[in-house]
Chain A
Amino acid sequence: MMTQEAIIEKIKQAIPDAEVTLRDLTGTSDHWEALVISKQFHGKSKLEQHRVVFDALKEEMSGPIHALTLKTLTP
């Protein structure tokens, strides 16, 4: 389980310019949907864009976050 603010904080540490919108898919704070918008995604494939976000949440993905559905965009 994790709070929305903690997840956003962790993503912003790795992607400082990121605009992050989160939705709790199950109300149990462990299945999330995230929209992440960042200039850092320019020139990256969707796979690489998602990997940047997953790498920012490396520890959390093997613990408190059970599922994370991602949408990544450039501004």
Chain B
Amino acid sequence: MNSMIQKQIKEQIKDDRVVLYMKGNKSFPQCGFSARVVDILNKHNVDYQTHNVLTSADIRSGIKEYSSWPTIPQLYVDGTFIGGCDIICDMEQSGDLEKLLNQTTAG
């Protein structure tokens, strides 16, 4: 991944607290897994930014390399990779996602 893409990704996950790399967007998710994570996030009272990997092949491969995780969607909170659809579904059931999203970052 070239450094420009890496820099762009780093900025994207820094610019917003909750960032979702997905196929499609909030209103029109274009894959079942992305749609499931959007549904889950919409239940929580949290703002989140999405990036449609279908509009940029560089971001689509770059984000997988950045997190060394081969699938989309990918959720980031406070700049940290949290997981894909399976992990987010597990965290939603266990209540860990609620705790994470409502955690106020220090400072």
Binding site for B on A (CB under 8 A): 46-47, 50-51, 54-55, 58, 61-62, 67-71
Contacts and interface: CB of A to CB of B under 8 A. Distances in A.
Given A46-B90, A67-B33, A58 B70 contact: yes
Interface of B: 33, 68-71, 81-87, 90
A51 B90 contact: no
Which applies to chain A's interface (DSSP): helix, strand, loop or mixed?
helix
A25 to B, nearest CB: 10
A7 to B, nearest CB: 14
Dominant SS among interface residues on chain B? mixed
Contacts of B87: 46-47, 50
A47 B70 contact: no
B53 to A, nearest CB: 14
Nearest to B90: A46
Contact of B86 (A58, A62, A70): A70
Which of A47, A67, A69, A71 has the most chain B CB atoms closer than 10 A to its own CB? A47
A69 B85 contact: yes
Given A47-B87, A50-B87, A68-B71, 15 more contacts: A46-B87, A46-B90, A47-B81, A47-B82, A47-B83, A50-B84, A51-B68, A54-B69, A54-B71, A58-B70, A61-B71, A62-B70, A67-B33, A69-B85, A70-B86
A59 to B, nearest CB: 10
B50 to A, nearest CB: 19
A50 B70 contact: no
B54 to A, nearest CB: 14
A61 B33 CA distance: 16
A2 B11 CA distance: 37
